[in-house]
Amino acid sequence: MTDAVRAVNLSKTYGAGAAAVVALDKVDLTLPQGTVAALLGPSGSGKSTLIKALGFVSPGDTGEVFFEGRLVVKDGRPLADLAQLRRRHLGFVFQKANLTSFLTARENVEIACEFGGKTDGRRRARELLDYLEVAHREHAYPEMLSGGEQQRVAIARALANEPSLILADEPTAALDSVRSRSVMELFRKVAHDRGAAVLVVTHDHRALDVFDVLYEMEDGRIRPSAHRSV
Amino acid sequence: MNLALRDVRRHIARFVGTAAGLGLLLSVVVAMQGIYAGMVDDATILTRAMRADLWLVQRDTVGPFAEASRLDPSVEARASAVPGVRRARPYNYQLIQREHRGAVLRIALVGLGWPDDPGHTLPLVRGRHLAQPHGEMIVDASLGLGLGESLVLAGEPYRVVGLTRNALTSGGDSVAFMTVGDTQLVAFDQSAEATLLERQRVVERLRRTDLGRGQPALEDLARDPRWRAPALASPPLAAVLIDADPHRIAEVQATVRRWGDVTVYTQGEEETLLLSGVVQRARMQIGLFTVILTLTAAIIVMMIMYNLTLEKTHDIAVLKLMGAPRGRLLGLVLQQAWLLGVLGYAVAYAIGELLFPMFPRRVLITTAISVIAPIATLGIVTLASVVGLSHVMRIDPASALEG
Ligand SMILES: Nc1ncnc2c1ncn2[C@@H]1O[C@H](COP(=O)(O)OP(=O)(O)OP(=O)(O)O)[C@@H](O)[C@H]1O
Ligand SMILES: [Mg+2]
């Protein structure tokens, strides 16, 4: 099984001097394909910073990030077209206001298919919405969707380009525990059915049994979670 | 998938409203240019309508429109004899003011050489050209006279036989065309007292000369009321128009230039003379207004485009996070700007079609205006979207995660 993404000795500091905040401190992390991993940790521990670095959005200051075995970012310098990498191989889901407000549910998925170079985006978008059981809302704008529906559309969109890596930053923060759990189970299903690596930042400890691996962050450092045994 | 149209669809009413506002502004800019073009056209219509190659006027004057010009009538015959001249026509021009049916009419009288020039070069909208040497005129419709109506000038009725449109002087006065002879009659109109005195003078002169003494019948002739004594030996002309062989115009011009009593202008020079006065000042003013209005429109579009982009900041950040190609996001802004421009121009066009004909001054949409206006609109909206575009470039995809 190949690694979807691998971070080696990844560090990131915000600010400088006395105000400097070390958000990532020599992080090593490997996510194999087909696994769903949770990223836990207190507020300010660096979870979002790690998601941005692994998602090739804001690179770290030092260290290396490999994507599917290929070195893509070294010491903050991109060695490939990162936007292209994102649109072809990555999917993002985040807390809220995930969707493009002026596109309908279906169009939100369709545009991701288009960016990902997928032909027949409309049909594919319908299939994905169907897979996530929101096909009946395909013509609705995001503001007309419930939080759970929005999140499911966002997940459909994250799947549109058949990504090798899905990064989700607190995707269930706006949902009740029942819906939250069903979203987590969906991630598991996606990882296991489609072979993608999924990394989910969550504070919700009730759904941790869904994950294959748990990581915990503290002060910018990462370690396998103690909750593993739960 | 076209993002620009999808976004517009979501806020269609606001977008159309904005385009309508821009359209109003554009229509004002176009109207200014059209009014200016109308002024230029009005100012030069007098010279253009005559379709002469050369204008001979009084030496060292810029007549006959900008200032008075008096030419000896013999110039016409002399000009006719110049090699290369096909035809020389007398021309008269003068402003008169008369009351007619209780209203004051200001009329610019233009004299046409009879019988060579009954007004064939005039753009008639109704009626016919002059058909007799006396008592007929072609007037501009703006004067308010109808076909067949008569106007009394110098004690004699002149019947309207043809109507032109937009034959106005640069001062906005309506033009009436009649034969040169008639303009001279009107211009050198005399009171009965003056005629009697003149007649008396002629009789006395006859009695003092051998000619009068030898031919008593001449005295009877002079006393006949049908005989009109000329106030001057022969009334002067304002100009003589020359139609020359196309390839010999310069040659004719060189010949005539040597004459001591005339100054010669080409048709183009005569037009420039007309424009250089009144219209030149208007050009400055209208040019300034146009610049200010164009800048205003550009700044407004800029603010609109910036705001449209600003409120989409999060959406654009999300699209960037998804790895949207840069061109697609810049296209979103640019295409909306262009759509705004196209809709705005369409509104301006509709306003022009509906309202411009009702303007008191003529709004002339020349080919140049109708070509430049849409191109300029497109240029303005493109330039105005620069601020929006640079905002798009600066949006950090990471900010999508913070939303
Ligand atoms: N843009 C930034 N500029 C300066 N400091 C930042 C910035 N982003 C994050 N930080 C700091 O870096 C540290 C890690 O932030 P990060 O957002 O990764 O935490 P987190 O684990 O996602 O927290 P939360 O659970 O509250 O979302 C924090 O101390 C935060 O204040
Ligand atoms: Mg966070």
DSSP string, A164-189: SEEEEESTTTTS-HHHHHHHHHHHHH
Residue among B16, B67, B40 nearest B271 (CA): B40
Please tell me whether residues B312 and B216 are part of one structural domain.
Answer: no
In this prediction the ipTM stands at 0.92
Q: How many residues does chain A have?
A: 230
Instruction: Pick A100's closest partner by Cβ from B319, B325, B397.
Output: B319
Contact at 8 Å (CB) between B199 and B230? no
Phi, psi values for residue B127, rounded to 5°: 80, -155
Residue B45 in 3-state DSSP? Answer: helix
Q: Do B6 and A85 touch (CB under 8 A)?
A: no
Please tell me whether residues B314 and B382 are part of one structural domain.
Answer: yes
Chain A CB contacts of B395 under 8 Å are none
Please tell me whether residues B365 and B284 are part of one structural domain.
Answer: yes
Domain count within chain A: 1
pLDDT tens, position by position, A197-224 = 999 999 888 889 999 999 999 999 998 8
Q: Do B401 and A101 touch (CB under 8 A)?
A: no
CA of B323 to the centre of ligand 2 (A): 21
Distance from CA of A122 to the nearest CA of B (A): 10
Please tell me whether residues B290 and B383 are part of one structural domain.
Answer: yes
Please tell me whether residues B303 and B389 are part of one structural domain.
Answer: yes
Strands laid side by side in the A213-218 sheet: A90-94, A165-169, A197-201, A36-40, A213-218, A221-224
Residue A63 lies in a domain: yes
CA distances from A19 to A13, A16, A22, B398 (A): 10, 6, 10, 21
Please tell me whether residues B295 and B200 are part of one structural domain.
Answer: no
- Tell me the residue type at B239: A
Contact at 8 Å (CB) between B187 and B147? no
Give the A:B interface size as CB pairs under 8 Å: 80
Residue B150 lies in a domain: no
Best residue among A27, A45, A216 to mutate for probing ligand 1, ranked by most atoms within 8 Å of CB: A45
Residue among B299, B294, B328 nearest B387 (CA): B299
Ligand 1 pocket residues where CB is under 6 Å: A 14-15, 21, 23, 41, 43-49
Residue A90 lies in a domain: yes
Residue among B269, B298, B273, B259 nearest B380 (CA): B298
What is the spatial distance between Cα B116 and Cα B127, in angstroms, rounded to a whole number? 19
What is the spatial distance between Cα B175 and Cα B164, in angstroms, rounded to a whole number? 9
Best residue among A40, A49, A50, A172 to mutate for probing ligand 1, ranked by most atoms within 8 Å of CB: A49
Please tell me whether residues B207 and B284 are part of one structural domain.
Answer: no
Q: Cα Rg for chain B, rounded, in angstroms?
A: 32
Residue B13 lies in a domain: yes
Chain B CB contacts of A48 under 8 Å are 401
Can you say how many angstroms the Cα of residue B364 is from the centroid of all Cα atoms in its chain? 9
Q: Do B10 and A115 touch (CB under 8 A)?
A: no
Residue A104 lies in a domain: no
Q: Which positions in chain B have a beta carbon within 8 angstroms of at least one beta carbon in chain A?
A: 1, 3, 6-7, 9-11, 312, 314-315, 318-326, 328, 396-398, 400-401, 403
Residue B379 lies in a domain: yes
- Nearest residue of B to residue A167 by CA position? B401
Which residue puts its alpha carbon closest to atom 16 of ligand 1? Answer: A46
What is the spatial distance between Cα B143 and Cα B163, in angstroms, rounded to a whole number? 10
Instruction: Pick B322's closest partner by Cβ from A52, A97, A112.
Output: A112
Whether the bond between B230 and the residue before it is cis, its omega within 30 degrees of 0, is no
Residue B341 in 3-state DSSP? Answer: helix
With b for 16 or more beta-carbon neighbours within 10 A and e for fewer, the B108-125 pattern comes to: bbbbbbbeebbbeebebe
CA of B15 to the centre of ligand 2 (A): 36
pLDDT tens, position by position, A73-123 = 999 999 999 999 999 999 999 887 689 999 999 999 999 999 999 888 999
What is the pLDDT at residue A11? 94
Residue B144 lies in a domain: no
What is the pLDDT at residue B366? 87
Mean pLDDT per 10-residue interval, chain B, length 403 residues:
92 92 91 85 77 89 83 87 88 85 86 80 86 90 88 87 83 85 77 71 81 78 65 71 89 89 89 76 85 89 90 94 93 94 94 87 86 92 92 92 73
Please tell me whether residues B224 and B293 are part of one structural domain.
Answer: no
Contact at 8 Å (CB) between B308 and B97? no
Instruction: Pick B321's closest partner by Cβ from A86, A88, A95.
Output: A86
Residue A151 lies in a domain: no
Comparing A13-22, A125-134, B223-232, B302-311, the range with the smallest average pLDDT is B223-232
List Cβ neighbours of B347 (8 Å cut-off, separation of 6 or more): B19, B20, B22, B23, B24, B26, B27
Residue among A39, A165, A155 nearest A98 (CA): A155
Do β-strands A165-169 and A90-94 pair in parallel, antiparallel, or remain unpaired? parallel
Instruction: Pick B324's closest partner by Cβ from A82, A87, A141.
Output: A87
Distance from CA of A229 to the nearest CA of B (A): 30
Mark which of B217, B233, B249 sits at the end of a domain.
B233
Residue B359, domain extent: 3-42+280-401
What is the spatial distance between Cα A23 and Cα A8, in angstroms, rounded to a whole number? 15
pTM score? 0.75
Please tell me whether residues B387 and B285 are part of one structural domain.
Answer: yes
Residue B245 lies in a domain: no
List Cβ neighbours of B295 (8 Å cut-off, separation of 6 or more): none
Chain B CB contacts of A174 under 8 Å are none
What is the pLDDT at residue A229? 42
Phi, psi values for residue A72, rounded to 5°: -110, -40
Do β-strands B156-164 and B124-127 pair in parallel, antiparallel, or remain unpaired? antiparallel
Residue B151 in 3-state DSSP? Answer: strand
Q: Do A94 and B403 touch (CB under 8 A)?
A: yes
Please tell me whether residues B300 and B363 are part of one structural domain.
Answer: yes
List Cβ neighbours of B146 (8 Å cut-off, separation of 6 or more): B160
Distance from CA of A34 to the nearest CA of B (A): 21
Best residue among A10, A13, A21, A94 to mutate for probing ligand 1, ranked by most atoms within 8 Å of CB: A21
What is the pLDDT at residue B297? 87
Residue B267 lies in a domain: no
Interface test with A, best of B322, B328, B333, B336 (most A CBs within 10 A): B322
Interface test with B, best of A56, A102, A107, A123 (most B CBs within 10 A): A102
Q: Do B6 and A103 touch (CB under 8 A)?
A: yes
- Nearest residue of B to residue A103 by CA position? B6
Please tell me whether residues B370 and B286 are part of one structural domain.
Answer: yes
What is the spatial distance between Cα B127 and Cα B100, in angstroms, rounded to a whole number? 21
Instruction: Pick A111's closest partner by Cβ from B1, B11, B312.
Output: B1
Structure tokens at A166: 């899905």
Q: Cα Rg for chain A, rounded, in angstroms?
A: 17
CATH number for the domain that contains residue A52: 3.40.50.300
What is the spatial distance between Cα B51 and Cα B54, in angstroms, rounded to a whole number? 9
Strand partners, B252: none
Phi-psi category of B76—alpha, beta or left, where left has phi over 0 and alpha has psi -120 to 50?
Answer: alpha
Which residue puts its alpha carbon closest to atom 12 of ligand 1? Answer: A23
Residue B113 in 3-state DSSP? Answer: coil
Domain count within chain B: 2
Strands laid side by side in the A77-78 sheet: A21-32, A3-14, A62-67, A70-74, A77-78
What is the spatial distance between Cα B67 and Cα B52, in angstroms, rounded to a whole number? 19
With b for 16 or more beta-carbon neighbours within 10 A and e for fewer, the B133-158 pattern comes to: eebbbbbbbbbebeeeeebebeeeeb
Residue A120 lies in a domain: no
Q: What is the DSSP string of chain A?
A: --EEEEEEEEEEEES-GGG-EEEEEEEEEEEETT-EEEEE--TTSSHHHHHHHHTTSS--SEEEEEETTEEEEETTEESS-HHHHHHHHEEEEESS--S-TTS-HHHHHHHHHHHTT-SSHHHHHHHHHHHTT-GGGTT--GGGS-HHHHHHHHHHHHHTT--SEEEEESTTTTS-HHHHHHHHHHHHHHHHHH--EEEEE---GGGGGG-SEEEEEETTEEEE-GGGG-
Alpha-carbon torsion (A80, A86, A89, A90), positive or negative: positive
Chain B CB contacts of A101 under 8 Å are 10, 314-315
CA of B134 to the centre of ligand 2 (A): 99
What is the spatial distance between Cα A25 and Cα B77, in angstroms, rounded to a whole number? 106
What is the spatial distance between Cα B194 and Cα B2, in angstroms, rounded to a whole number? 86
Residue A198, domain extent: 3-98+164-229
What is the spatial distance between Cα A196 and Cα A166, in angstroms, rounded to a whole number? 7
What is the spatial distance between Cα B57 and Cα B34, in angstroms, rounded to a whole number? 32
Instruction: Pick B6's closest partner by Cβ from A90, A107, A112.
Output: A107
CA of A112 to the centre of ligand 2 (A): 24
